[in-house]
């Protein structure tokens, strides 16, 4: 088998945001992890540990817009990141930042994305393999049949395997995007020219 | 006791005049400790207020009983500043200054009708006041500028309309400020009232008292002269007519020694030399006759400093005119008297005006305080006496007094000098009329007319920040954003310190998506003034354009914190919440905006938008229509109403609305687009196509247009044209990767029974295969 080609990095999500087609909604959700490495003292991290108990390598680091800090898991596989929304939300894509050069054996290689209403009825909708990623990985969560973004209460990202069969994983940043309905009136796709957009709304 | 006080008082006024607040406060405190009189209290409170610490003045005055009107006035002003409106009103009502300041309290406490009435009355009393006119426009009333800004109302104040309303209750502090500002004119008017009307009605009393309080404002110098003469005149009349309590006010507060120094008549003249004041005063009389407009210009430059504090973006222009004007008509006797004695060459006037204005404390607050202090002089007679003691100037006053004594009616003196003054006043009035008409048109959203009126002003007035800003606002409301941007950038060039109206500029740039200009503006404004809501609105708009909605929300909240009475900040915040899909918070924001300003049609529009998003179309229509009732010329609003009506299945009404919208603004592409889409939905394909073809000419690069054309062709069965348009649409919108467009293309192939395409083989199997491949 030929050497699998490295997963190319995707575009910086910030650029995507600027186009106005997507909006980051991670702030509207409650994040939790299956485990995370505690700061200094060796506290046995339990399942569903909350960020407050894990300074240094927890959810905060996963959501702090800083690619230097990361979440480090501390348990058995699969490592889980749970994203729970207050209400049913359409999600278009996920962006995960992974860097093989800095994380090596901690870099996730197989990721499964599951959605559902709660912990008990999650269904896997995407599974992807990454080979030595070195940047942003875009995971599109569009329903392949209807080509619509999925609408869900909860998303679970499961790290099933790491590079070099590492046990724990590092995840530097995760972003969740919802599509933006640009058109303020009418069920039309967004307009592209400034001339049109000027008249779209009264501000 | 007076002897002891006067040098100290003079020193305090001197310090205040030179903005040495620390010194003034210190001395005033010593004086008050030494002499626990109400005058000293008043002086100390004034020092606190002028140094920018109204809370100190408030607490000081609260702790002691206030009997004199000026003290009550100051206390009421502090209350207004500290947003203790009900209390301020109470203070005002309790005292002789009954109705005057009540107006200020009225508006904010939502007694709109009363407030409007007060404004009207103040306008009838003193047509030089701009802020009541502005406030009336904001309230939605339509005062007629030609009626309001008339000299005749000045001349014949014998109407003695109830003066209470004189102080329009803008935003209380504003109002008071303006009231204070206007005092010179008011006082003048009141004096005139006193002079001319022999009826010692309560009205005149009140007007007098109004003048008293209002006198306090700007320009101690001119006022000094004026008030002195006024007071003398007034007192004379008071003697002749039945002295009313109000009238006594003229003389009454004179007891307050602080006034006396300020008048310059008395030995304790803190301002730069008494003679100058009287001279100034008389010379103003003189010079008014000559080139009034020139005078205005020179005055304006100086008065700008004086009046710029009013916090409104209003034109400073009228005020200086007023000053000169008021002085003119007022002391019917005094000008005459003074002029011969004091008559200087016409060029003295400009010189004088500078002295007048610059010597006086620069801030309106200070002015108002000063005026207040000055005005409530109890006994004009005493003043005049003191005056006579002072300098030759005072002798003039005495003379004037004599003259007044001789001829209480003062009809004779008026003939000569008032002529010139009338001419000057006439010029100002003409200008005010024009500005008033323009402003009224703008507030009723007759933007074209407003722009025309304001553009036809003489160039020296046209090239001012106020005028250009309002023209820019007119273009903004017409959705002509490029023109608006031009106007506003001109404003930035000539008056880089102007913040009023900059929030409109930032929204203009937001619409035009000029992020570089917007971020430069934002940086500039936030560096310049962190305490004005406009700067934070600009910053918020800047980040909103960059789609960083959380940061934009933060800045808009900051704008609200800085000024909770700034309706536009709430509206913008509401829009941000809509963009982040937090519709409940957005609803709350828009409602807040409406609470602050009922005529803020953007907020009504915002509410309509939210209901539309929530598919509550009826509610949406109601709110849009309410917005339309405030601004009937907005084609964007009409467009939205049309869409909502279509959603409510009232397609005919929708089409009619859209036709109206296109009639108002043929350049609005969205109206045509929506009309086309409604026609399409109603199966009128040909008409829709025609519409879209026209639209293509207007906005050739808009992918939506091609998308809709494609859909129409698809319905018409012309699949090749449809496909062509869809692919054009996709080309024009690569980043969007519109699923809808893709869908539209894909769907095309699914039902393959039509086979109208000439290239198609009529075999169903191959067709399907081809479709799937497509």
Would an 8 Å CB–CB cutoff place B735 in contact with chain A? yes
Place of tokens 């039509």: B754
What residues 736-765 of chain B have any CB closer than 8 A to a CB of chain A? 736-743
Residues of A in contact with B602 (CB under 8 A): 202-203
Residues of B in contact with A201 (CB under 8 A): 575, 609, 636
User: To probe the interface with B, which of A86, A144, A199, A200 has the most B CB atoms within 10 Å?
Assistant: A199
Separation of CA B481 from chain center = 22
Sign of torsion over alpha carbons B308, B313, B315, B318: negative
Lowest mean pLDDT among A119-123, B492-496, B734-738, B753-757: B753-757
pLDDT(B253) > 90: no
Alpha-carbon span B504 to B488, nearest angstrom: 9
Alpha-carbon span A185 to A201, nearest angstrom: 9
Contacts of B171 (CB under 8 A, 6+ apart): B107, B108, B565
**What is the per-residue pLDDT across B24-79, written as a single tens digit (0 to 9) for each?**
999 999 999 988 888 889 999 999 999 999 899 999 888 887 778 888 888 888 88
Q: What is the pLDDT of residue B319?
A: 40
Q: What is the pLDDT of residue B95?
A: 52
Between B603 and B155, residue with greater pLDDT: B603
How many residues are there in chain A? Answer: 203
**What is the per-residue pLDDT across B172-214, written as a single tens digit (0 to 9) for each?**
334 443 333 334 433 333 333 333 333 333 333 333 334 333 4
Alpha-carbon span B318 to B435, nearest angstrom: 10
Exposed/middle/buried for A132, CB within 10 Å: 0-12, 13-18, 19+? middle
Residues of A in contact with B704 (CB under 8 A): 188-192, 196
Give the whole-number percent of chain B exceeding pLDDT 70.
57
CA-wise closest residue to B287 among B331, B330, B342, B349: B349
Residues of B in contact with A196 (CB under 8 A): 669-670, 673, 699, 702, 704
Q: B580: nearest CA in chain A? A: A23
Contact B511 A195 (CB under 8 A): no
Q: What is the pLDDT of residue B103?
A: 53
Band of pLDDT at residue A116, cut at 50, 70 and 90: very high
Q: Cis link prior to A78 (omega < 30° from 0)?
A: yes
**What is the per-residue pLDDT across B542-554, written as a single tens digit (0 to 9) for each?**
999 998 898 999 9
Closest chain B C-alpha to A23 CA, distance in angstroms: 8
Contacts of A121 (CB under 8 A, 6+ apart): none
Contact B503, B538 (CB under 8 A): yes
Alpha-carbon span B324 to B285, nearest angstrom: 7
pLDDT(B522) > 90: yes
Q: What is the pLDDT of residue A40?
A: 55
Which candidate from A148, A191, A203 shows the least CB-CB separation from B702?
A191
Contact B638, B661 (CB under 8 A): yes
pLDDT(B596) > 80: yes
Exposed/middle/buried for A120, CB within 10 Å: 0-12, 13-18, 19+? exposed
Contact A189 B639 (CB under 8 A): no
Sheet holding A93-99, edge to edge: A22-24, A173-179, A93-99, A134-140
Give ∠ CA B401-B368-B189 in degrees, rounded to 5: 45
Which candidate from A17, A19, A185 shows the least CB-CB separation from B643?
A185
- pTM (predicted TM-score): 0.68
Two tokens, residue B541: 């708009």
Max Cα distance, chain B (Å): 118
Would an 8 Å CB–CB cutoff place B696 in contact with chain A? no
Two tokens, residue B154: 């000045």
pLDDT(B414) > 60: no
Which candidate from A23, A148, A194 shows the least CB-CB separation from B513?
A194
Asked whether this complex has an ipTM greater than 0.90, the answer is: no
Q: What is the pLDDT of residue B28?
A: 92
**What is the per-residue pLDDT across B636-683, written as a single tens digit (0 to 9) for each?**
999 999 999 999 999 899 999 999 999 998 888 888 999 998 998 898
Q: What is the pLDDT of residue B231?
A: 37
Q: What is the pLDDT of residue B765?
A: 43
Between B385 and B109, residue with greater pLDDT: B109
Sign of torsion over alpha carbons A72, A77, A81, A86: negative
Contact A200 B736 (CB under 8 A): no
Q: What is the pLDDT of residue B118?
A: 76
Q: What is the pLDDT of residue B128?
A: 79
Which candidate from A18, A191, A195 shows the least CB-CB separation from B546?
A18
pLDDT(B577) > 50: yes
Band of pLDDT at residue A60, cut at 50, 70 and 90: confident
What pairing do the DSSP bridges indicate for beta strands A173-179 and A93-99?
A: antiparallel
Give the whole-number percent of chain B exceeding pLDDT 90.
30
Lowest mean pLDDT among B156-160, B472-476, B626-630: B156-160
Band of pLDDT at residue B136, cut at 50, 70 and 90: confident
Contact A147 B742 (CB under 8 A): yes
Band of pLDDT at residue A134, cut at 50, 70 and 90: confident
Q: Tell me what the pLDDT averaged over chain B comes to.
A: 69
SS (H, E, C) B259-302: HHHHHCCCCCCCCCCHHHHHHHHHHHHHHHHCCHHHHHHHHHHH
Q: What is the pLDDT of residue A186?
A: 59
Lowest mean pLDDT among A67-76, B5-14, B46-55, B180-189: B180-189
pLDDT(A139) > 70: yes
What residues 571-600 of chain B have any CB closer than 8 A to a CB of chain A? 571-572, 575, 580-581
Q: What is the pLDDT of residue B711?
A: 86
Which candidate from B637, B735, B741 shows the least CB-CB separation from A202?
B637
Contact A203 B670 (CB under 8 A): no
Give the whole-number percent of chain A exceeding pLDDT 70.
84
Band of pLDDT at residue A76, cut at 50, 70 and 90: confident
Would an 8 Å CB–CB cutoff place B657 in contact with chain A? no
DSSP A77: S
SS (H, E, C) chain A: CCCCCCCCCCCCHHHHHHHCCEEECHHHEEEEECCCCCCCCCCCCCCCECHHHCCCCCHHHHCCCCCCCCEECCCCCCEEEEEEEEEEEEECEEEEEEEHHHHHHHCEEEEEEEEECCHHHCEEEEEEECCCCEEEEEEECECCCCCCEEEEEEEEEEEEEEHHHCCCCEECEEEEEEECCCCCCCCCCCCCCHHHHHCCCCC
């Amino acid at each position: 088998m030929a050497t699998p080609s490295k997963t190319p990095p995707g575009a910086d999500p910030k650029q995507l945001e600027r186009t106005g087609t997507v909006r980051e909604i991670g702030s509207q959700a409650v994040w939790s992890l299956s485990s995370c490495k505690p700061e200094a003292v060796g506290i046995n991290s339990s399942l569903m540990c909350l960020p407050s108990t894990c300074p240094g390598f927890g959810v905060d680091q996963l959501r702090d817009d800083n690619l230097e800090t990361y979440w480090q898991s501390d348990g058995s596989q699969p490592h889980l990141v749970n994203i729970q929304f207050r209400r049913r939300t359409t999600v278009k894509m996920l962006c995960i930042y992974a860097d093989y050069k800095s994380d090596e054996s901690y870099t996730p290689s197989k990721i499964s994305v599951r959605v559902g209403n709660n912990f008990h009825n999650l269904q896997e909708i995407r599974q992807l393999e990454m080979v030595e990623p070195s940047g942003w990985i875009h995971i599109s969560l569009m329903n392949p049949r209807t080509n619509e973004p999925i609408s869900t209460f909860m998303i679970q990202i499961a790290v099933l395997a790491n590079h070099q069969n590492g046990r724990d994983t590092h995840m530097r940043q995760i972003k969740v995007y919802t599509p933006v309905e640009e058109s303020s009136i009418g069920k039309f796709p967004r307009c592209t020219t400034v001339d049109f957009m000027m008249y779209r709304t009264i501000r | 006791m007076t002897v002891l006080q006067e040098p100290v008082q003079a020193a305090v006024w001197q310090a205040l005049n030179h903005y040495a607040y620390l010194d003034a406060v210190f001395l005033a405190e010593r004086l008050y400790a030494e002499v626990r009189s109400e005058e000293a209290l008043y002086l100390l409170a004034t020092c606190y207020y002028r140094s920018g610490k109204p809370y100190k003045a408030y607490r000081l005055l609260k702790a002691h009983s206030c009997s004199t009107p000026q003290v009550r006035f100051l206390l009421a002003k502090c209350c207004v500043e500290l947003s203790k409106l009900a209390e301020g009103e109470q203070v005002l009502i309790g005292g002789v200054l009954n109705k005057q300041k009540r107006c200020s309290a009225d508006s904010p406490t939502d007694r709109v009708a009363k407030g409007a009435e007060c404004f009207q009355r103040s306008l009838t009393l003193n047509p030089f006041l701009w802020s009541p006119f502005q406030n009336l426009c904001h309230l939605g009333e339509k005062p007629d500028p030609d009626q309001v800004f008339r000299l005749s109302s000045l001349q014949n104040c014998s109407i003695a309309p109830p003066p209470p309303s004189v102080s329009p209750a803008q935003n209380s502090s504003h109002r008071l400020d303006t009231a204070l500002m206007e005092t010179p004119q008011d006082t003048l008017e009141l004096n005139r009232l006193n002079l001319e009307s022999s009826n010692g009605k309560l009205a005149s009393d009140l007007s007098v008292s109004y003048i008293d309080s209002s006198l306090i404002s700007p320009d101690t110098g001119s006022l000094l002269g004026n008030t002195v003469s006024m007071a003398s005149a007034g007192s004379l009349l008071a003697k002749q007519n039945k002295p009313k309590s109000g009238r006594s006010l003229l003389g009454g507060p004179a007891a307050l020694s602080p006034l006396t120094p300020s008048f310059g008549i008395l030995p304790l003249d803190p301002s730069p030399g008494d003679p100058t004041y009287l001279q100034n005063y008389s010379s103003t009389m003189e010079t008014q006759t000559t080139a009034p407009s020139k005078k205005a210009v020179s005055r304006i430059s100086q008065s700008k400093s004086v009046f710029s504090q009013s916090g409104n973006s209003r034109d400073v222009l009228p005020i200086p005119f007023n000053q000169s004007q008021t002085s003119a008509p007022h002391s019917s006797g005094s000008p005459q008297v003074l002029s011969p004695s004091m008559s200087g060459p016409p060029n003295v006037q400009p010189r004088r005006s500078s002295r007048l204005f610059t010597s006086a404390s620069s801030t309106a607050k200070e002015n108002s305080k000063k005026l207040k202090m000055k005005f409530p002089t109890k006994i004009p007679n005493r003043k005049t006496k003191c005056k006579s003691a002072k300098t030759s100037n005072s002798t003039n006053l005495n003379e004037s007094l004599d003259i007044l004594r001789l001829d209480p009616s003062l009809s004779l003196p008026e003939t000569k000098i008032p002529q010139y003054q009338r001419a000057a006043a006439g010029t100002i009035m003409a200008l005010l009329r024009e500005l008033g008409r323009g402003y009224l048109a703008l507030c009723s959203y007759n933007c074209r007319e407003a722009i025309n009126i304001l553009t036809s002003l003489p160039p020296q007035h046209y090239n001012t920040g106020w005028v250009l800003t309002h023209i820019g606002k007119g273009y903004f409301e017409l959705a002509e954003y490029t023109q608006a941007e031009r106007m506003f950038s001109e404003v930035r060039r000539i008056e880089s310190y102007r913040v009023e109206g900059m929030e409109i500029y930032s929204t203009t740039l937001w619409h035009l998506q000029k992020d570089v200009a917007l971020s430069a503006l934002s940086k500039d404004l936030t560096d310049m003034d962190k305490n004005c809501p406009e700067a934070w609105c600009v910053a918020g708009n800047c980040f909103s354009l960059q789609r960083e909605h959380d940061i934009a929300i933060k800045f808009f909240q900051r704008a609200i914190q800085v000024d909770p009475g700034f309706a536009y900040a709430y509206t913008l915040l509401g829009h941000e919440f809509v963009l982040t899909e937090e519709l409940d918070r957005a609803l709350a924001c828009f409602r807040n905006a409406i609470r602050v300003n009922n005529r803020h049609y953007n907020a009504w529009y915002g509410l309509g938008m939210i209901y539309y998003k929530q598919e509550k179309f009826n509610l949406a229509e109601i709110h849009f229509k309410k917005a339309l009732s405030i601004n009937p010329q907005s084609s964007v609003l009409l467009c939205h109403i049309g869409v909502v009506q279509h959603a409510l299945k009232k397609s005919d009404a929708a089409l009619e609305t859209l036709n109206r919208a296109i009639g108002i603004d043929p350049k609005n592409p969205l109206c045509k687009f929506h009309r086309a889409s409604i026609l399409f939905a109603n199966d009128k394909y040909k008409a829709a196509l025609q519409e879209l073809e026209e639209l293509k000419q207007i906005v050739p690069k808009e992918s939506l247009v091609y998308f809709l054309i494609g859909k129409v062709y698809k319905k018409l069965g012309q699949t090749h044209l449809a496909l062509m348009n869809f692919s054009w649409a996709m080309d024009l919108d690569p980043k969007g990767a519109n699923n809808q467009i893709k869908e539209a293309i894909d769907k095309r192939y699914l039902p393959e029974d039509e086979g109208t395409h000439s290239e198609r083989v009529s075999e169903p199997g191959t067709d399907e295969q081809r479709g799937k491949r497509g």
